[in-house]
Chains A and B, each alone.
Chain A
Amino acid sequence: MSENKTDDVSEQILNAVKKNSKGISATDMAAEVPDLPSAELVGAINKLLQQGYLDIYKQDGALIYKIKNQLSKQVVKGADNEEKVVYNLIEEAANKGIWIREIRNQSNLTNPQLTKILKNLESKKLIKAVKCVNASKKKVYMLYNLEPDRSISGGAWYQDQDFESEFVDILNRQCLRFLHQRADKIKNNPRGPIVGRTQSYATAIEVQKYITDLGISKVKLEVEDVVTILNTLIYDGKAESTVYPDGSRVYRAIESLIPPPGLVQVPCGICPLIHKCSSTGLITPQDCKYMNEWLEQ
Chain B
Amino acid sequence: MSHQLGRLVAQILQRYCGEIVEKVGNDLFMYGSKPIAMIVKSTGLPRTQVIESLRTLMKFDLAMFEATGPHVDYRLLPENVLLLIRYPRYLLQMKSKYGTEAELIIEELLQQATCSATLLLVTIANKYKDDKDKNLTIVTLKDTFISLATAAYIQQAPVAEIKEGSEIPNLVQVATIVPDLDTRALMQAMANPVDIKDNIYWKVNYDRFHQDFRDDIMIKAMTRRIDDTAGEVMRLLLQQMYLSSAAWAEESNAIPVTDLRESSRLTDKILLHHHLEHYLKVMEENGAGFIRRAGDAGGGQYCVQAKVAAKLLVEDVLDHVVTERLGSKAARIFRLIRAKKYVEEEDIQKNAMLPNKECKQLTYKLLEEHFISVQPMRKSQQVSGTQKGIYLYHVKLFEAVHVCREMCYASLHNLSRARRQLVSEHGRALDKQRRVRTIVHGMRMRSETEESINDVLETLTPPEVNLLAQVEKQLKQLSTAELELDRNLFILNWYLHYP
Contact A265 B317, beta carbon cutoff 8 Å: no
Q: How far is the CA of A136 from the CA of B355 in the complex (A)?
A: 12
Contact of A193 among B230, B332, B336 (CB under 8 A): B230
Q: Does B417 contact A (CB under 8 A)?
A: yes
Q: How far is the CA of A288 from the CA of B323 in the complex (A)?
A: 23
CB distance from B271 to the nearest CB of A (A): 6
CB distance from B232 to the nearest CB of A (A): 11
Q: Does A43 contact B (CB under 8 A)?
A: no
0/1 interface trace, chain B 464-498, chain A, CB 8 Å (1 if under): 00000000001001100101111111010000000
CB distance from B341 to the nearest CB of A (A): 14
Contact B332 A235, beta carbon cutoff 8 Å: yes
Q: How far is the CA of A236 from the CA of B224 in the complex (A)?
A: 17
0/1 interface trace, chain B 333-364, chain A, CB 8 Å (1 if under): 10110010000001000111111101000000
Query: Which A residues are CB-close (under 8 A) to B415?
Result: 266, 268, 285
The B contact surface, by secondary structure, is helix
0/1 interface trace, chain A 67-104, chain B, CB 8 Å (1 if under): 00000000000000000000000000000000000000
Contact A295 B320, beta carbon cutoff 8 Å: no
Name the CB-closest residue of A to B282. Answer: A193
Q: How far is the CA of A70 from the CA of B415 in the complex (A)?
A: 76
Q: How far is the CA of A236 from the CA of B312 in the complex (A)?
A: 15
Query: Which A residues are CB-close (under 8 A) to B484?
Result: 261-262, 265-266
Contact A285 B413, beta carbon cutoff 8 Å: yes
Contact of B335 among A237, A261, A279 (CB under 8 A): A237
CB distance from B425 to the nearest CB of A (A): 10
Contact A295 B274, beta carbon cutoff 8 Å: no
The A contact surface, by secondary structure, is mixed
Instruction: Take A260-B320, A261-B488, A285-B414 as given contacts and tell me if A165 and B354 are in contact as well, using a CB distance cutoff of 8 Å.
Output: yes
Q: Does A242 contact B (CB under 8 A)?
A: yes
Name the CB-closest residue of B to A268. Answer: B411
Q: How far is the CA of A165 from the CA of B335 in the complex (A)?
A: 19
Contact of B227 among A187, A268, A269 (CB under 8 A): A187
Instruction: Take A192-B271, A194-B282 as given contacts and tell me if A258 and B414 are in contact as well, using a CB distance cutoff of 8 Å.
Output: no
CB distance from A278 to the nearest CB of B (A): 8
Stretch at the interface among B17-25, B35-43, B402-410, B434-442: B402-410
Contact A163 B335, beta carbon cutoff 8 Å: no
Q: How far is the CA of A274 from the CA of B325 in the complex (A)?
A: 11
Q: How far is the CA of A197 from the CA of B230 in the complex (A)?
A: 13
Q: What range describes how many residues of A lie at the interface?
A: 35 or more
Interface positions, chain A 230-289, Cβ under 8 Å from B, are: 231-232, 234-237, 240, 242, 252, 254-266, 268-270, 272, 274, 277, 279, 285-286, 288
Contact B481 A235, beta carbon cutoff 8 Å: no
Contact A258 B411, beta carbon cutoff 8 Å: no
Q: Does A129 contact B (CB under 8 A)?
A: no
Contact A270 B324, beta carbon cutoff 8 Å: yes
Instruction: Take A257-B316, A264-B320 as given contacts and tell me if A188 and B228 are in contact as well, using a CB distance cutoff of 8 Å.
Output: yes
Query: Which B residues are CB-close (under 8 A) to A187?
Result: 226-227
Contact of B491 among A168, A256, A261 (CB under 8 A): A261
Q: Does A186 contact B (CB under 8 A)?
A: yes
Contact B411 A269, beta carbon cutoff 8 Å: yes
0/1 interface trace, chain B 54-81, chain A, CB 8 Å (1 if under): 0000000000000000000000000000
Contact B317 A263, beta carbon cutoff 8 Å: yes
Interface positions, chain B 288-334, Cβ under 8 Å from A, are: 288, 312-313, 316-317, 319-321, 323-325, 328, 331-333
Query: Which A residues are CB-close (under 8 A) to B235?
Result: none
CB distance from B391 to the nearest CB of A (A): 17
Contact of A269 among B217, B407, B417 (CB under 8 A): B407
Contact B346 A134, beta carbon cutoff 8 Å: yes
Q: Does A120 contact B (CB under 8 A)?
A: no
Instruction: Take A277-B414, A279-B7 as given contacts and tell me if A257 and B358 are in contact as well, using a CB distance cutoff of 8 Å.
Output: no
Contact A136 B356, beta carbon cutoff 8 Å: yes
Q: How far is the CA of A295 from the CA of B473 in the complex (A)?
A: 9
Query: Which A residues are CB-close (under 8 A) to B134?
Result: none
Query: Which B residues are CB-close (under 8 A) to A165?
Result: 353-355, 358
Contact B485 A263, beta carbon cutoff 8 Å: yes
Contact A197 B282, beta carbon cutoff 8 Å: yes
Contact B285 A242, beta carbon cutoff 8 Å: yes
Q: Does A34 contact B (CB under 8 A)?
A: no
Q: How far is the CA of A295 from the CA of B321 in the complex (A)?
A: 21
Interface centre among A187, A231, A268 (most CB of B within 10 A): A268
Contact A193 B275, beta carbon cutoff 8 Å: yes
Q: How far is the CA of A72 from the CA of B229 in the complex (A)?
A: 71
Q: How far is the CA of A168 from the CA of B355 in the complex (A)?
A: 10
Query: Which B residues are CB-close (under 8 A) to A157?
Result: 353
Contact A254 B414, beta carbon cutoff 8 Å: no
Q: Does A37 contact B (CB under 8 A)?
A: no
Q: Does A228 contact B (CB under 8 A)?
A: yes
Query: Which B residues are CB-close (under 8 A) to A259?
Result: 224
Contact A190 B271, beta carbon cutoff 8 Å: yes
CB distance from A17 to the nearest CB of B (A): 41
Query: Which A residues are CB-close (under 8 A) to B491?
Result: 258, 261
Q: Does B97 contact A (CB under 8 A)?
A: no
Query: Which B residues are CB-close (under 8 A) to A236?
Result: 328, 331-332, 335
Instruction: Take A232-B353, A257-B224, A295-B474 as given contacts and tell me if A192 and B332 are in contact as well, using a CB distance cutoff of 8 Å.
Output: no
Can you name 8 A-B pairs with beta carbons within 8 Å?
Answer: A165-B355, A188-B228, A236-B332, A252-B286, A258-B317, A268-B407, A269-B321, A269-B407
Extra inter-chain contacts (14) besides given A236-B335, A285-B418, A295-B422, CB under 8 Å: A165-B358, A186-B282, A194-B281, A197-B282, A197-B286, A257-B312, A257-B313, A258-B217, A260-B324, A262-B408, A263-B404, A270-B325, A274-B411, A285-B414
